[in-house]
Amino acid sequence: MALPANLTTITVTGTYIDISGNPIAGQVKFTPRAVLRNVTSDVIIINSTITVTLDANGSFSQALVATDDTDAAPVDFTYKVEEAFVGGRTFDIALPAATAGGTIDIADISPALADDGSGSLYVDNDDYIALEARVTVVEALATNANDLLDDIETELNAAIAYSNTAVALIGDYTRALTAISDNRTGIMPLLFPSKSA
């Protein structure tokens, strides 16, 4: 069974050669990042992997559903691309329905790799997802730390209030004891009356 006729497809082409100009042997794999639903023909398109084998020239051509086709849901998904050969990369691409001529070369949409000896200057999608997960964990820890600091501040303020109350009470007791001490001559007979003979 073919794809529903109302879906827009974009043809992705490409050619891979090594540094000596020899064709690369291998495969390129495309996996939609979402299960698609055709909104008009009630067809579910499972996000299975499409594997394309490079020909003798290291080239390929493959038609894929446009990633922003409004006849498919969700709109604006991406494809995971895996270059299944030595030195191959993994990255994501988008295929807009408005692509001129309905064809695009993978060289025009894949991440450029520039290496000045310090390593690659791009992050592929898998690395990005891993980094995003780490950032999420760090943000959660920061939120928990802020909540804990708020709790500590609340408890500290309560302790200060209790301390102030205790100091005030000690002051009251001290003044009362001073007053008793100053007037003990008059108070003692009241507290300890002498027994009649």
55-81 per-position pLDDT tens digit: 999 999 999 999 999 999 999 999 999
Residue range 89-100: mean pLDDT, rounded: 93
User: Quick check: 92 pLDDT over 90?
Assistant: yes
Confidence of residue 165 (pLDDT cuts 50, 70, 90): confident
Q: What is the pLDDT of residues 110-134, one digit of tens each?
A: 887 555 555 444 555 566 677 778 8
* pTM exceeds 0.75 for this model: no
Interior/surface letters 147-184, b for 16+ CB within 10 angstroms, e for the rest = eeeeeeeeeeeeeeeeeeeeeeeeeeeeeeeeeeeeee
- DSSP string for 20-43: TSPBPPSEEEEEESS-EEETTTTE
Cα torsion 159, 164, 167, 169: sign:
negative
pLDDT, position 114: 53
CATH of domain 9-110: 2.60.40.3390
Domain ranges in the chain are 9-110, 134-188
CB contact set of 79 (below 8 Å; sequence gap of 6+) = 30, 31, 32, 33, 64, 67, 92, 93, 94, 95
DSSP 87: T
d(CA 126, CA 195) in angstroms, rounded, equals: 98
pLDDT, position 8: 94
User: Quick check: 3 pLDDT over 60?
Assistant: yes
Query: Which is it for strands 36-38 and 43-45: parallel, antiparallel or unpaired?
Result: antiparallel
Mean pLDDT of the residues in the chain: 85
pLDDT, position 18: 96
d(CA 188, CA 79) in angstroms, rounded, equals: 96
